[in-house]
Structure 1
Amino acid sequence: MPQIDFTLDHDYVELNQLLKLTGLCDSGGAGKALVASGAVRVDGAVELRKTCKIRAGQRVSLDDVDIDVHGAA
């Protein structure tokens, strides 16, 4: 399963923006559509809130890709 490590530069990133910033979709709007379709999981649970706040320590999954979110060093 591919894994992406993402380092925050703020306290959080909105879910749809995380999908865009990691290259899993082309735009924030496409990210919102992916979330709305039920394809995205946060910490193992389906997440339907398009702009939910993703913080350090959380894992976001889409298809067979996991994104591990880390805080700034």
Structure 2
Amino acid sequence: MIKLDQFLKFLGIAPTGGQAKLMIIDGNVKVNGVVETRRGRKLIATDEVTVEGKTFLVGEVID
């Protein structure tokens, strides 16, 4: 399990936690097709995160 803001940092999409927070609060991130505004949202391996037009399967990135 990983938090949404940590996942964005891990991907390199957001270089800092503050930038990840802003991306999430601004509604630029979707989890399983739904806009997610909670930066502490816990992700599981089957979740799909979409940001900047790209979709990432959590399990494929963090395994």
**Structure 1 length normalisation: TM-score?**
0.78
Q: Which has the higher strand share?
A: 1
Q: Relative contact order (alpha carbons < 8 A, sep ≥ 6): 1 or 2 greater?
A: 1
Show the 5 A alignment for 1:1-73: 12-70=1-59, 72=63
Residue 19 of structure 1 aligns to a residue whose secondary structure is helix
Q: Which structure 1 residue ranges, 4+ long, deviate > 3 Å from structure 2?
A: none
Aligned length: 61
Percent identity between matched residues is: 31
List runs of 5+ in structure 1 lacking aligned partners: 1-11
**Structure 2 length normalisation: TM-score?**
0.89
* Matched AA of 1:20: K
Greater gyration radius: 1
Q: Which has the higher helix share?
A: 2
| C-alpha RMSD over aligned residues | 1.2
List runs of 5+ in structure 2 lacking aligned partners: none
